[in-house]
Amino acid sequence: MSTLNEHLRVLRFTLRHMLLTSNASLLNILIIGIALSLPVGGYVLLKSVQTLGAQIAGAPQISVFLASGTSAGEIDHIGDRLRQHTAVKRIEFVSRDAALKKLQQSTGLADVVAGLAQNPLPDAFVIYPKDGSAAALETLRDELKTWQHFEHVQLDSAWVHKLEALLDFGRMAVAILAALLSFALIAITFNTIRLQILTRREEIEVAKLIGATDSFIRRPFLYFGLTQGLLGGIAAWLLVAASLQLLNHQIGALTQLYASNFSLQHLTPIDSLTLLGFSAYLGWLGAWFSVSQHLWQIEPR
């Protein structure tokens, strides 16, 4: 209980100190918030682009064309195997007669199709996989090629590769930006704590003279860094949320012209907690580095 009271006392002292230096604290919090909002905004845009790409391209599918002479019983057996396959979400069977009728209606070649001596189209299955990634689609395609009675297995995965390449590039850019800004935020906290240590040098010397331990002296600075980082994360979340609200308002007017319902996705609760935890950790880490480097240099005279 005494340990908890001590931590609460230090937390109250930290908040009081931030209020006394409100201008400097607010400026640091805003800098941290703006810096964190850049990679977080990039992450949100990437998630939205991925969703938009899936909407534009439609659900990925594999078309399987059956060999001529495949009996109705064999077709039923193949359908059952596909439905039971762990990588298949659902299937559609397109008979050769239905395919010919659809071709006749969609191309306007009714006279040409009617003049055919026999139906040249095969029976087919349209397979919708559970996993739409390029690697999973190609793995399923290669497996289906080994099945009997399959004349041709067709997968148009070019758009999947292009989208994944674009998203991979974006993820790398966001990761590099996040790493660089993380170092910058650690440096901001490092310098802030360094100035506090220098300002309170005499107070620290007196505390050491009366027997205060390094952990006791270090604790307020670590709490300050953690609290500043957490508030910076909250500022980043608010900036991103406000930006998304403004952008979605403009996007809404644009998508109405194209009869679309696309909008930028907000941060999920897990994403939000990750942002706050990460920002708090960066603040604590910067404070720890600063205290570790400068506190040992102060000794009672």
pLDDT tens per residue across span 80-134: 888 888 888 888 888 877 776 776 666 555 555 555 656 667 888 888 888 877 7
Confidence of residue 267 (pLDDT cuts 50, 70, 90): confident
DSSP strands (E only) in 7-103: 62-66, 88-94
Q: 261 and 255 in contact (C-beta within 8 Å)?
A: yes
CA 165, 166, 169, 172 dihedral sign is negative
Tokens 């006392």 locate to 9
Entry field: residues in the chain: 301
Tell me the helix, strand and coil percentages in the chain, rounded to 5. 75, 10, 20
Confidence of residue 292 (pLDDT cuts 50, 70, 90): confident
pLDDT in tens, 57-72: 556 788 888 888 788 8
Is the pLDDT at 214 greater than 60? The verdict is: yes
Most confident of 2-16, 80-94, 131-145, 203-217: 80-94
Task: Measure Cα distances from 104 to 97, 109, 220 in Å.
Answer: 11, 6, 79
Stretch 281-285: mean pLDDT, rounded?
91
Tokens, residue 219: 């604790």
Tell me whether strands 62-66 and 150-155 are parallel, antiparallel or unpaired.
Answer: antiparallel
Tokens, residue 144: 């289906």
For the chain, give the percent of residues with pLDDT over 70. Answer: 77
Average pLDDT, the chain: 79
User: What domains sit in the chain, N to C, each tagged with a CATH number?
Assistant: 2-56+162-297 (no CATH), 61-156 (3.30.70.3040)
pLDDT in tens, 17-52: 777 777 878 888 898 899 899 999 888 888 877 776
The Cα 141–Cα 243 span in angstroms is 42
Q: Regarding predicted confidence, which is higher, 228 or 109?
A: 228
Which of 32-41, 145-154, 235-244, 274-283 is predicted least confidently?
145-154
User: Which residues are CB-contacts of 160 (< 8 A; sequence separation ≥ 6)?
Assistant: 57, 60, 132, 133, 134, 137
The Cα 270–Cα 4 span in angstroms is 28
Stretch 177-185: mean pLDDT, rounded?
89
279 CB neighbour count, 10 Å cutoff: 28
Is the pLDDT at 11 greater than 60? The verdict is: yes
Looking at residue 277, its pLDDT comes to 93
Is the pLDDT at 276 greater than 90? The verdict is: yes
Tokens, residue 234: 């909250």
Confidence of residue 281 (pLDDT cuts 50, 70, 90): very high
Looking at residue 300, its pLDDT comes to 56
Task: Measure Cα distances from 209 to 54, 80, 149, 218 in Å.
Answer: 66, 82, 88, 15
Task: Measure Cα distances from 135 to 129, 132, 138, 161, 194 in Å.
Answer: 12, 8, 5, 9, 50
Exposure string for 5-44, b = 16+ CB within 10 A, e = fewer: eeeeebbeebeeebeeeeeebeebbeebbebbbbbbbbbb
137 CB neighbour count, 10 Å cutoff: 22
Looking at residue 116, its pLDDT comes to 61
Looking at residue 87, its pLDDT comes to 86
Looking at residue 127, its pLDDT comes to 86
For the chain, give the percent of residues with pLDDT over 90. Answer: 10
Distance spanning both ends of the chain, measured CA to CA: 35
Q: Regarding predicted confidence, which is higher, 165 or 114?
A: 165
